[in-house]
A and B are shown apart, each in its own frame.
Chain A
Amino acid sequence: DGGITQSPKYLFRKEGQNVTLSCEQNLNHDAMYWYRQDPGQGLRLIYYSQIVNDFQKGDIAEGYSVSREKKESFPLTVTSAQKNPTAFYLCASSIGPATEAFFGQGTRLTVV
């Protein structure tokens, strides 16, 4: 089945550690996105990529990094520089601008 897959579903991180969240899609979409969702805050854009080997910062990119080496994959690294990383992270993809985005099931990251 075509879709977008995030892993893991739950992730626990110790303070000072970097962790990487996986996002894979087999929809042949050019555009991919990472959002952060906090209670009462809606979705906020962390990074987005419109094409392989290119990505742009979103509204809250500090403390995060991404790569887009393959069209299907857009991993997000939460670095130790991110001061408040506990949140629900959603990855999405779309054919391109002005089209609907499809979301993965999300990864819930907790700092312990």
Chain B
Amino acid sequence: EDKVVQSPLSLVVHEGDTVTLNCSYEVTNFRSLLWYKQEKKAPTFLFMLTSSGIEKKSGRLSSILDKKELFSILNITATQTGDSAVYLCAVDYGGSQGNLIFGKGTKLSVKP
């Protein structure tokens, strides 16, 4: 059975901390892994990863994929209260049942 597992499910940190969010997967026909940020309603796209070992970076956020060990991490440095959100990991496996399978998300709370 295809699945995507995120950890931790929730995390509380203080402003300025660095956090690492994890996403492991077991899918057939892997095509890509995507990270989304969901603050209140609509998830917004962060990164798409298709190749192992190539870091994607956007400001204080970065992500990398390990296709051998079947996981990805999302790093956020110098966290701010505006980083508080649910971070969703999804895997595009190109299956007949639609394209994306989502993890349950990691709820990040950044305290002032």
Q: Do A and B originate from a single complex?
A: yes
Does B88 lie within 8 Å of A42, measured CB to CB? Answer: yes
The answer, among B88, B90, B99, B105, for a CB contact under 8 Å with A97, is: B99
B92 and A98 within 8 A (CB): yes
Min C-beta distance of A15 to chain B, whole Å: 26
Q: Contact at B45–A102, with CB atoms within 8 Å? A: yes
Contact residue among B32, B41, B44, B98 (Cβ-Cβ distance under 8 Å from A98)? B32
B99 touches A48 (CB 8 A): yes
Report if A31 contacts B (CB, 8 A). Answer: yes
Q: Is B61 an interface residue (CB 8 A)?
A: no
A105 at the interface (CB under 8 A from B): yes
- Residue count of chain B within 8 Å CB distance of chain A: 25
Interface residues of B (CB under 8 A from A): 9, 31-32, 34, 36, 41-45, 48, 88, 90, 92, 94, 96-105
Shortest Cβ distance from B100 into A: residue = A101
B98 cross-chain contacts in A, Cβ below 8 A: 33, 45, 48, 56, 58
Q: Is the interface of A mostly helix, strand, loop or mixed?
A: strand
Q: Is the CB of B97 within 8 A of A58?
A: yes
Q: Are A41 and B32 in contact (CB under 8 A)?
A: no
Listed A/B pairs (22) with beta-carbon separation below 8 Å? A33-B98, A33-B99, A33-B100, A42-B88, A42-B102, A42-B104, A45-B97, A45-B100, A48-B98, A58-B97, A88-B41, A97-B31, A97-B99, A98-B31, A98-B32, A98-B99, A100-B34, A100-B45, A103-B36, A103-B43, A105-B41, A106-B41
Among A23-65, those with CB < 8 Å from B are: 31, 33, 35, 40-45, 48, 56-59
A104 contacts B99, CB within 8 Å?
no
Complex Cα–Cα for A105 and B40 (A): 9
Contacts of A94 in B (CB 8 A): 99
Q: Which residue on B lies nearest to A4, using beta carbons? A: B42
Instruction: Check: A90 CB closer than 8 A to any chain B CB.
Output: yes
CB distance from B67 to the nearest CB of A (A): 15
